[in-house]
Each structure stands twice: as C-alpha cells, then as structure tokens.
Amino acid sequence: MHKIVDLGVNLLHANEHQASHNRQTFDAAGVRCFNLMSSPGAGKTALLEAVLGTLCQRYRLAIIEGDMTTQLDADRLRQFGVPVIPITTGRACHLDAAMVQGGITLLEREAAPLQNFDLLLVENVGNLVCPAEFAVGEHAKIALLSVTEGEDKPLKYPIMFRAADCIVITKTDLLPYLPLDQAALQQNLRLINPTAPIFWVSVQTQAGLADWLAWIDAQLAPAAVIYS
Amino acid sequence: MHEVDMTKALLQTLRDWWHEADRPLVREVHLQVGEFTCVEPASLLSAFAAAVPGTFLAECRLCIESIPFVAYCPHCQQSYRPVLEQAYTCPTCHAPLTEILSGRELKIAHICTATGPDSYAQNC
C-alpha cells in the first residue's frame, strides 16, 4: 500500500532555512551583508581591491571569499588589513548558506565577534547560474558583468540579473577597443531588471567607483560611522 | 555539477523531512521544476540516480513535472510566455518582464511512501 504525503516544500528548503538564520544573525549583530556574484573573470576581486582602502576608512569590514580550489583571491584582499575568511568549495560551484555560516564562525574565532563589524562582503564563486538560486542570508545581491561579455549576457542569464539588487558593469576602460553596444546592454539589463541601479565602472581609471561607493553608503546609512 | 549540487540540496531537504516523518520507505518523490529556474530536469534525474544508491532513497523514483514560464503584463492585462528572443517582454506592448505567474518553482510537491509492516527503511 502507498501513502501520498503532500509537502509543497521548496527543494532548497534546507538552504533557505539556513540563509534565513544567517540573515537573523547579521541583523542581530548590526551587520549588512552583500553577496557579489559574476561569471569567472568579470572582476569581483579587482573591484574589491579598488574600493577596500576607501571602505575601510568608513566601515569595519570583513570578507568571506569563495573559490573552488585556491585561496589566491583571499590572499589578494588580505593586504588591506581586513579579515578575510577563505572558503574553498571543492567541486561545488557556489557558496551556500551553510558554508557562509561556517565562515561566520571562523571569522568570530579568528578575528572578532560579528557585532564588531558593519559590513560583510561575500565574494561568491565565479558562476552566473547557481549562486542566483542559493541565498546565503545576504541583504543585497550585487551582480557584476564586464563589458567584454556582450550585450546579450543579461538575456542569457536572466535569473541572476533579475535577482540582483545592484548591477556593476566592469572594465569600462576597455570600451574603446570593443564593439559593445552600450545602450543595448543597458536596455537588456533594464528589461530583465527594471529597478536595480546600474553602475559602469573601471578599476583601472577609477571611473564610476565613487557612485558605487555612494550606493554602498546609502545601504549602510543607519550603521555608518566615519573613522578619522 | 550544478544538478549535483541541486541533488545534494534536494537530498538534504528530504532527509530533514524523512527524520521528522519517522523514516518511512520512500517510493516516489514528485518535483515541480519551473522552466525559469537554473535546473534542467533531465540532468537532475541523472544526478539523483547517481546520488541515491545506499541511501534511504535507494528505492525511490524521482518524477519531475516541468512548470511553464508564464508572465503577466499589467498594461495589456494578459498572460504571456516570455522568450529570450523578445528579451522576455510582452509580445503585444513590449513592456518589460514584471510579474511572473509561474516558472520559478523548485518544489517537492508530494512524496509517495510505502505503508505496511515492511515500510520502515533502514537507518541510512
């Protein structure tokens, strides 16, 4: 004999539950969390390198750095004196909420209690597919794409760009050398995501970074403390 | 790799339920997978088949219902099937994708368990 059990449960319920728990942990500690996502090579680490010096003057920062096999990106970011917790995911192509919870535990053990920080930056594994589906408890999803990826990238990966709370287009210093139709890229992003702010930046020329930093300031405004 | 991770997530969610449900023998798991998700049903079936031997789901069949991607245009007040070639816009007025009616499901709809004296699975 068989019995049918109606569940109606999200397939990713376990991850959603952990992500919700992470979010509560962040809120209780007064920490904002951003989840940076992009395809491999779009410039997540370089973007963080470009702004960490400024951000460190405004906020108490920590970073969880996800990568599949190495700690190379984490090593690049440690030079700014910010606690960087590396998470090597092995064959998993994204960070999940349990991994980030483990990162929080390590951060508190190796650096300081979570309430000592204002902003936790999670640099996800380079992947435009899975991270969009696996929440980690973040307050904001930040999706990057570089000008080298073409106008139709948002249409090919609509779930990622639709889920983003902020979109950063990187490597704008390369525009003179590329056939990219900027208006088409902007339009395609707007068609997928009508509301997320879009920032065009270059870490080489510093173009656009101030505007993106202003967006970050606006997200943290209630918690901002200016350190002299 | 992606569906392997999805299978791990699925197994974790099922395991949590299974323990709370007193570890019945699971015969079938019925999923609803939306077309506007990152999951390819055929790949998920393969990954699931590879992952369950030796687990409490070893005798389980995975059944996947694909849910169509349907959006609603508030300007035209009608539903439509978004397509990449039209940037997912309304085919009538070309308004951007706003309200999604279906296609984002990643749901364990229901589970069929065996009942009777041999129904309880071994502890896996």
> pLDDT of B71-93, one tens digit each?
999 999 999 999 999 999 999 99
Which chain A residues are closer than 8 Å to B34 by Cβ?
Answer: none
Report the pLDDT value the prediction gives residue A158, as an integer from 0 to 100. Answer: 95
In this structure, the number of other CB atoms found within 10 A of the CB of residue B30 comes to 18
- Confidence band for B117, pLDDT divided at 50, 70 and 90: low
Contact between residue B70 and residue B41 where contact means Cβ atoms under 8 Å apart? no
Report the pLDDT value the prediction gives residue A73, as an integer from 0 to 100. Answer: 76
Contact between residue A151 and residue A64 where contact means Cβ atoms under 8 Å apart? no
Report the pLDDT value the prediction gives residue B1, as an integer from 0 to 100. Answer: 56
Please report the residues numbered 75 through 104 in chain B whose beta carbons come closer than 8 angstroms to any beta carbon of chain A.
84, 87-89, 96-98
Q: Flag if B36 and A133 touch (Cβ within 8 Å).
A: no
Compute the nearest-CA separation of A30 from chain B (Å): 29
Report the pLDDT value the prediction gives residue B8, as an integer from 0 to 100. Answer: 86
Q: Flag if B108 and A4 touch (Cβ within 8 Å).
A: no
Contact between residue A188 and residue A162 where contact means Cβ atoms under 8 Å apart? no
- Split into its structural domains, chain A has a count of 1
Residue type, A27: D
Q: Is residue A60 part of a domain?
A: yes
Q: Is residue A152 part of a domain?
A: yes
Compute the nearest-CA separation of A11 from chain B (Å): 5
Report the pLDDT value the prediction gives residue A228, as an integer from 0 to 100. Answer: 32
Measured distance CA(A191)–CA(A107) in Å, rounded: 39
Q: Inform me whether the C-beta atom of residue B70 falls under 8 Å from chain A C-beta atoms.
A: no
Q: Is residue A35 part of a domain?
A: yes
> pLDDT of A4-38, one tens digit each?
888 888 888 888 999 999 999 999 999 999 999 99
Compute the nearest-CA separation of A120 from chain B (Å): 25
Reduced to 3 states (helix: H, G, I; strand: E, B; else coil), residue A123 is strand
Report the pLDDT value the prediction gives residue A129, as an integer from 0 to 100. Answer: 87
Does A224 score more than 60 pLDDT? Answer: no
Residue type, A221: A
Does A142 score more than 90 pLDDT? Answer: yes
| Structural domain that includes position A68 | 9-220
Angle, vertex CA A96, rays to CA A199 and CA A134, nearest 5: 60
* Strand ranges in chain A using DSSP code E only, listed in sequence order: 2-10, 32-37, 61-67, 84-88, 119-123, 140-146, 166-170, 198-200
Report the pLDDT value the prediction gives residue A89, as an integer from 0 to 100. Answer: 77
Report the pLDDT value the prediction gives residue A225, as an integer from 0 to 100. Answer: 47
- Confidence band for B119, pLDDT divided at 50, 70 and 90: very low
User: What is the reported pTM?
Assistant: 0.90
Q: Is residue A2 part of a domain?
A: no
Provide the CATH number for the domain around residue A192: 3.40.50.300
CA A121 distance to own-chain centroid: 7
Q: Flag if A194 and B84 touch (Cβ within 8 Å).
A: no
- Chain B interface, best mutation among A4, A6, A7, by max B CB count within 10 A: A7
Does the interface ipTM go beyond 0.90?
Answer: no
Q: Is residue A4 part of a domain?
A: no
> pLDDT of A68-121, one tens digit each?
676 777 778 888 899 999 998 777 788 999 999 999 999 999 999 999 999 999
Which chain B residues are closer than 8 Å to A133 by Cβ?
Answer: 37-38, 106
Q: Is residue A72 part of a domain?
A: yes
> pLDDT of A191-220, one tens digit each?
999 999 999 999 999 999 999 999 999 999
- Residues 6 or more apart whose CB falls under 8 angstroms from that of A28 comprise none
Q: Is residue A228 part of a domain?
A: no
Measured distance CA(B29)–CA(A17) in Å, rounded: 21
Q: Percentage of chain B with pLDDT > 90?
A: 67
Q: Flag if A12 and B113 touch (Cβ within 8 Å).
A: no
> pLDDT of A146-191, one tens digit each?
999 999 999 999 999 999 999 999 999 999 999 999 999 999 999 9
Q: Inform me whether the C-beta atom of residue B51 falls under 8 Å from chain A C-beta atoms.
A: no
> pLDDT of B6-20, one tens digit each?
888 889 888 988 998
Report the residue of chain A nearest B110, measured CA to CA.
Answer: A6
Which chain A residues are closer than 8 Å to B26 by Cβ?
Answer: none
Q: Flag if A5 and B107 touch (Cβ within 8 Å).
A: no
Which chain A residues are closer than 8 Å to B84 by Cβ?
Answer: 155-156, 158
Q: Flag if B9 and A15 touch (Cβ within 8 Å).
A: yes
Q: A37: which DSSP letter?
A: E
Report the residue of chain A nearest B8, measured CA to CA.
Answer: A12
Q: Is residue A225 part of a domain?
A: no
